[in-house]
């Protein structure tokens, strides 16, 4: 009861801030029942006159509400299927920047996490240089067998887990209320959205998992000459602390510094696109937060990524799907693009492949009448997902994350090279992967993996036969003797049945008494 009151108070505060900043202007009243429309109209009376326009209002409100709501806004930016494409695009601009907490507090967190005094761990440990909702970064210096080295130390905010836990509980309560009040809300699955956010934040707040993400991406890209990631220092990493090599480089949005250093902006734009596609299609594991603040060019001209709290993963099925639809659009083979959707099971078989191909043609043909630098691959995927929704394709979270990341990556690349030809840049990566995995060599490897799996099953056949025999013997015993119940179980069932009967009898008495009162009043 007390918890419900606290959740109500938190949600009332959140509602007040959203209304005050004008964020409720984004709500479509026609989708609400009459009572909710009246509540929305009354709430908008307290809206500030200069609240701004569009989702800038929502971004301002979420920032005022604190770290949990900022993270929630960023999460919704990856779900245009819920908030709409326009709102998701505006929410992408929501900056996860928070005031830093004091260095002394960070030192205390590091010493607790690593179990040693700060002076034994680092030769130097700076004031915070960047701060976000979950953690902040310090620059430090350590001694290694090769000599001294500069590192970046990421430290989780004190009390952030408790704060997120409280806010997530309030969000769950709000989601349940939303489902009850708004008839069509269950289609949007608000409670599932909050649970997905909870899982995402739980992963992001364990910096050991981020270190593992850095390590996996480094292993995948070790032979890529134009891309690298920092190296985690495992001895100086724990749940609340992540230490990696320091990156000296120029941010990709600092065009003046890039040109002054003599780097080729056109080549860098090509590297951004091809690196992302290699990670997504070749490796099935990609950095899902590739905004300019997380991308640098190092002194050797290589692309360097940092901040691996949000990663995306694609299975072989999704990678094949992505590669084939991109190649299909490049070659204008719309029937093949449609067939790939059906083969993957994304579009139900009761639809017509030919009708679906015709709908896809409506997306593909207009782009081929434009100059290469006017074609947006990210916009094409957005339109494709809108069309597939008409053919009952269910939302695929991994593909939505891929599409949203591609929007950001394409923006970064075009900022470097406004005349970037996305198709010419992407085609070699996509074609190479298809030839490698779907050509003769790839088919042979798949057959080999299939034979290896079959050999494993054959090797397990004797054990499977013994298990099957034991199950059959147990079924015969049950058939012959019946199911035996433990005496304690029987007694417990009896007690439960008695309790149920007592409540049933009580309910009948209440109903009877109510009827008598109604009859008495009627005669009176």
Q: So which residues are the catalytic ones?
A: 289
Task: Give the count of alpha carbons within 13 A of 41, CB side only.
Answer: 9
Hey, CA dihedral for 499, 502, 506, 512, is it positive or negative? positive
Beta bridge partners of 232: 244
Whether the CB-CB separation of 313 and 398 falls below 8 Å is answered with: yes
CA atoms of 415 and 252, how far apart (whole Å): 9
Q: Give the residue ranges of DSSP H helices in 152-254.
A: 160-181, 185-188, 190-204, 207-220
Beta strands in 72-170 (DSSP E): 124-131, 135-144, 147-156
Whether the CB-CB separation of 150 and 140 falls below 8 Å is answered with: yes
Beta bridge partners of 285: 313
Report in angstroms the alpha-carbon separations of 238 from 104, 164, 242. Answer: 19, 20, 6
CA atoms of 404 and 335, how far apart (whole Å): 25
Identify which of 316, 368, 370, 371 has the alpha carbon closest to the alpha carbon of residue 344.
316
Identify which of 319, 325, 305, 316 has the alpha carbon closest to the alpha carbon of residue 224.
305
- Looking up tokens 């009572």 gives 35
């Amino acid at each position: 009861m007390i918890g419900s009151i606290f959740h109500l108070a938190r949600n009332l505060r959140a509602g007040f801030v959203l209304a005050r900043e004008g964020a409720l202007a984004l709500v479509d009243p026609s989708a609400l029942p009459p009572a909710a429309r009246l509540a929305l109209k009354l709430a908008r009376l307290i809206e500030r006159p200069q609240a701004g326009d569009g989702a800038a209002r929502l971004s301002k409100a979420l920032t005022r509400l604190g770290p949990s709501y900022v993270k929630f806004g960023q999460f919704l930016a990856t779900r245009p299927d819920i908030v709409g494409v326009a709102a998701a695009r505006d929410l992408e601009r929501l900056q996860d920047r928070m005031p830093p907490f004091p260095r002394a507090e960070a030192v205390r967190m590091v010493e607790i996490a690593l179990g040693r005094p700060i002076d034994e761990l680092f030769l130097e440990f700076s004031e915070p240089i960047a701060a976000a909702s979950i953690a902040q970064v310090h620059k430090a210096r350590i001694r290694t067998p090769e000599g001294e080295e500069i590192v970046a130390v990421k430290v989780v905010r004190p009390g952030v887990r408790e704060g997120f836990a409280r806010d997530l509980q309030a969000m769950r309560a709000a989601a349940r209320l939303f489902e009850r009040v708004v008839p069509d809300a269950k289609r949007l699955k608000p409670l599932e959205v909050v649970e997905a956010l909870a899982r995402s934040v739980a992963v992001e707040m364990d910096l050991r998992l981020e270190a593992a993400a850095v390590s996996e991406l480094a292993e995948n890209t070790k032979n890529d000459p134009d891309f690298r990631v920092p190296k985690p220092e495992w001895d100086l990493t724990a749940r609340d602390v992540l230490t990696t090599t320091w990156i000296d480089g120029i941010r990709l949005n600092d065009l003046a510094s890039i040109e002054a250093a003599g780097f080729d902006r056109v080549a860098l734009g090509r590297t951004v696109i091809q690196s992302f596609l290699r990670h997504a299609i070749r490796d099935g594991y990609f950095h899902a937060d590739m905004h300019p603040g997380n991308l640098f060019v190092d002194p050797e001209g290589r692309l360097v990524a940092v901040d691996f709290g949000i990663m995306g993963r694609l299975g072989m099925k999704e990678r094949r799907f992505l590669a084939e639809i991109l190649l299909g659009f490049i070659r204008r083979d719309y029937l093949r693009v449609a067939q790939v959707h059906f083969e993957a099971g994304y579009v139900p078989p009761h639809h017509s492949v030919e009708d679906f191909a015709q709908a896809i043609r409506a997306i593909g043909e207009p782009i081929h009448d434009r100059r290469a630098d006017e074609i947006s691959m990210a916009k094409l995927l957005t339109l494709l997902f809108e069309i597939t929704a008409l053919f009952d394709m269910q939302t695929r979270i991994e593909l939505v994350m891929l599409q949203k990341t591609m929007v950001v990556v394409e923006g970064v690349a075009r900022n470097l090279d406004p005349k970037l030809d996305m198709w010419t840049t992407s085609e070699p990566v996509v074609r190479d992967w298809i030839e490698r995995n779907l050509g003769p060599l790839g088919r042979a490897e798949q057959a080999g993996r299939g034979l290896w799996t079959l050999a494993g099953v054959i090797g397990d056949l004797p054990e499977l036969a013994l298990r099957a025999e034991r199950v059959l013997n147990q079924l015969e015993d049950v058939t012959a003797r019946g199911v035996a119940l433990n005496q304690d179980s029987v007694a417990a069932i009896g007690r439960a049945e008695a309790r149920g009967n007592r409540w049933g009898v009580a309910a009948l008495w209440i109903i009877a008494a109510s009827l008598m009162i109604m009859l008495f009043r009627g005669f009176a």
